[in-house]
Structure 1
Amino acid sequence: MAFCTEGHESTSTDYCDVCGAPIGMQFGSAAPHSALCPSCGAPSEGRFCENCGHDSALPAPPPAPPVKEVREDSTRTVGGAGDNGSADASVWVATVTADAAHFARMRAQKGPDLDRVDFPDYYPDRRIPLQGPNILIGKRSVSQGVHPDIDLSVAPADIAVSRSHAILHIEGATLTVTDLGSTNGTCLNDSPTPIPPKTPIPLQDGDRIHVGGWTTITLTTEPG
């Protein structure tokens, strides 16, 4: 019969069946020197560490992985977070305004519905942060199930904007605009010529999209 360091009889020959103390010393002998717990490093005399509960009969735990150093000069990415998910990534922002110059160009072209379009007396600028990847430009219609991300049905509404007029697409640092076959077309940067329908056109920071009779949407990047 074996005895543990606490004097208990044990059928096990390595650790006591009663208290878990190590086997190997006879009852009445001096207590062994304390060992260090392989898990937390605290002094431990029994099988189970009184500090963290580690079972010394089990293999020592693997070392903790090294802490990666976070670089302060993290990559700044347009349209989403960088590789390290930094908080200073940039986002695209659409600013919707009533544009008198665009209104004059459209009236001169005498396109569909433009004889019924009036320039609004008051139209406060609207800033809309873009949440990709696809952002629909148009006018809301509950009956047709159309719910644009940039909703131009807000009064005073531009009646020359189609329900599903155009769509912005964000992919990485690239932003494109595609006209969806709208009635009055989509123009860029004061050009009177509409872009080809159903064709993605790349955009740059500061580009302006002209839709409807007087609506201009300016795309810019801002810190996220």
Structure 2
Amino acid sequence: MERAVLLCPVCAEPRSGRRCPRCGHDLLPRQRTGPSSPGDDAGGVPLRAGWVAIAQADPDYYEKATTTGDLEAPRVPFPRAWPARYFALNGERAWIGRRGRSRTHRPEIDLGGWPADPGVARLHALLLAVPTGGWVLMDPGSASGTTVNDDPTPVPVDALVPLAAGDRIHLGAWTTIVLQRSGADW
């Protein structure tokens, strides 16, 4: 599948990482604390209402990890019950991870809770909104890595991977997140 080329919003240079090679603009947006102008609910960025991230325990992903030796099945058993979780994607970004003990880090896609996937880091990966209305994935350096669809190669640290509806993000020992547009068959 051919992916769209991402352009720097400042200088329009093609980019493949977190920072623009030409002007140094950082794609990772600063956290906004409120609207930037009256009537502006998203702090200047259109809400991405219409996208949903569906997190689920994936037996096929787990099986591949145990078969290749990336995971020791007896030490990390597959959960018997792990209901799918639905997360609406809004705003500029969505952290994927699990809440820390201090409760100060609250990822928008919180994969904590019982049973917790032991391979998911507190701040494991990041979804960033792009001006065209889609999303890109970035792994800031998680220990167990992140893969997309059927590619076994982990996403390089700070690389930006464009995503489309139906793409599968694999992380941890058994977690798969599927991106869907609202109203699509879940």
**Shorter-normalised TM range:** 0.5 to 0.7
**Cα offset, 1:116, TM superposition:** 2.6
- Aligned match of 2:79: 120
Q: Distance in 2 between matches of 1:137 and 1:114?
A: 24
Q: Secondary structure at 1:176's aligned position in 2?
A: strand
1:152 aligned onto 2:123: no
Pairing partner for 1:196 from 152, 156, 160: 156
Compare relative contact order (CA 8 Å, sep 6+) and give the higher one, 1 or 2.
2
- TM-score of the superposition, structure 2-length normalised? 0.67
Unaligned runs of 5+ in 2: 1-44
Cα separation, partners in 2 of 1:182 and 1:115, compared to 1, 3 Å: farther
What pairs up with 1:54-73 in 2 under 5 angstroms? Answer: none
Letter in 2 for 1:184: S
Cα separation, partners in 2 of 1:113 and 1:139, compared to 1, 3 Å: farther
Q: Secondary structure at 2:169's aligned position in 1?
A: strand
**Cα offset, 1:131, TM superposition:** 1.5
Q: Distance in 1 between matches of 2:153 and 2:129?
A: 24
Q: Secondary structure at 2:65's aligned position in 1?
A: helix
CA contact (8 A) 2:147 2:154 kept: yes
Task: Tell me the percent identity.
Answer: 38
- Aligned match of 1:18: none
1:111 aligned onto 2:70: yes
Cα separation, partners in 2 of 1:147 and 1:174, compared to 1, 3 Å: same
Q: Distance in 2 between matches of 1:222 and 1:176?
A: 18
- Aligned match of 1:207: 167
Q: Aligned pairs, how many?
A: 138
1:174 aligned onto 2:134: yes
What pairs up with 1:9-48 in 2 under 5 angstroms? Answer: none
Alignment deviations for residues 127-156 of structure 1 (CA, whole Å, 9 cap, x no partner): 111122110001110437321111111211
CA contact (8 A) 1:162 1:182 kept: yes
* Structure number with larger C-alpha Rg: 1
Query: Please, what is the CA RMSD of the aligned residues?
Result: 2.2
Letter in 2 for 1:183: A
Cα separation, partners in 2 of 1:93 and 1:187, compared to 1, 3 Å: same
Unaligned runs of 5+ in 1: 1-78, 82-88
Cα separation, partners in 2 of 1:146 and 1:116, compared to 1, 3 Å: farther
CA contact (8 A) 2:98 2:121 kept: yes
- Aligned match of 1:32: none
- TM-score of the superposition, structure 1-length normalised? 0.56
Cα separation, partners in 2 of 1:90 and 1:137, compared to 1, 3 Å: closer
